[in-house]
Amino acid sequence: MSFIRIWMIAAFSTVAVNAAVTQEAKHDLPQRVPVPVERPDTKSSVGKIKPAEEAGPISPPGEVLRAAKKDERIYQVACPVLMSGEIDGTLIPPLKENNCGEQSPLKINAFGKETPVRLAAPVIINCAMATALVEWTANVSALAQKHYHSPIKKIVTGSDYQCRRVNNGSSGRTSEHAFANALDIISFTFENGKTTELKSGWNAKGAEKAFWRDLHKASCKRFMTVIGPDGDAAHENNLHLDLGCHGKDCMARICQ
């Protein structure tokens, strides 16, 4: 074989390989279309959730966040009370864990714009809860002014987002906490330094009892479910507030 013949074979082979690579690259491009993140499958069985005792501590939300692929768009919604500054918080990535989750959760440090009321620890709830809690906090502050002659400064909360069943049961309904649609209230600190806890305050005397009873009544006008110490033993030290749907049109309320 002459040198020229060998050179020609090598040159034609290179052209053929280059053409194949170009074809492959062209074929690849249209496949990269952003896909929306699926909503939590609320129809699937709740049997996948382990009882709280077996499951151990619920993972911090950061560990269950769905990692987005490089060129994938995550669809979330804006929250008006976050945009207007009526809450101090941020929109965080979607939560998805078995059939629990929320597409547009908020991590909140305080409620209120002019005189924000801080939370002892940040909470993760949905926009509807955040909106209801802004008005509720102003309401509670007015009640504090009435009974303690001092507005509220800080709120200590219990459960916020948590993938579990109602009352940590091993069977039964999935809790509204599992959809970031609930928050438990434990105690308040007032501007004048005084504090009150639900557990001791619910049946206390005078102003303290009146404060908690008025607060319970006011809560029932803003939330769809309110469960306090008179509801069941699981709520002797925390007031459960949620915006769950009761009744055919989601218009029924539970106030206990």
What does the binding site for Zn ion look like in residue numbers (CB under 5 A)? 184, 240
Residue 151: strand, helix, or coil: coil
Closest separation in Å from C-beta 201 to Zn ion: 18
Q: Identify which of residues 175 and 190 has a Cβ nearer to Zn ion in the complex.
A: 175
**219-246 b/e with 16+ CB inside 10 Å = b?**
bbebbbbbbbbebeeebebbbbbbbbee
How far from 62 is each of 96, 97, 175, 211, CA to CA, in Å? 11, 12, 20, 36
Q: Identify which of residues 86 and 184 has a Cβ nearer to Zn ion in the complex.
A: 184
Q: Identify which of residues 37 and 186 has a Cβ nearer to Zn ion in the complex.
A: 186
Closest separation in Å from C-beta 129 to Zn ion: 11
Closest separation in Å from C-beta 61 to Zn ion: 17
How far from 255 is each of 225, 240, 246, CA to CA, in Å? 6, 10, 12
Closest separation in Å from C-beta 233 to Zn ion: 13
Instruction: Answer whether 146's CB lies under 8 Å from 162's CB.
Output: no
**170-195 b/e with 16+ CB inside 10 Å = b?**
eeeebbbbbbbbbbbbbbbbbbeeee
Closest separation in Å from C-beta 177 to Zn ion: 6
Q: Identify which of residues 147 and 240 has a Cβ nearer to Zn ion in the complex.
A: 240
Closest separation in Å from C-beta 196 to Zn ion: 19
Q: Identify which of residues 153 and 240 has a Cβ nearer to Zn ion in the complex.
A: 240
Spatial separation of the C-alpha atoms in residues 119 and 192, rounded to whole Å: 17
Q: Identify which of residues 86 and 126 has a Cβ nearer to Zn ion in the complex.
A: 126
Instruction: Answer whether 150's CB lies under 8 Å from 194's CB.
Output: yes
Beta-carbon contacts of residue 80 (< 8 Å; ≥ 6 apart): 127, 131
Output the six-digit token pair for 52: 């709280």
Q: Determine the residue with CB nearest Zn ion.
A: 240
Closest separation in Å from C-beta 180 to Zn ion: 12
Farthest CA pair distance, the chain: 111
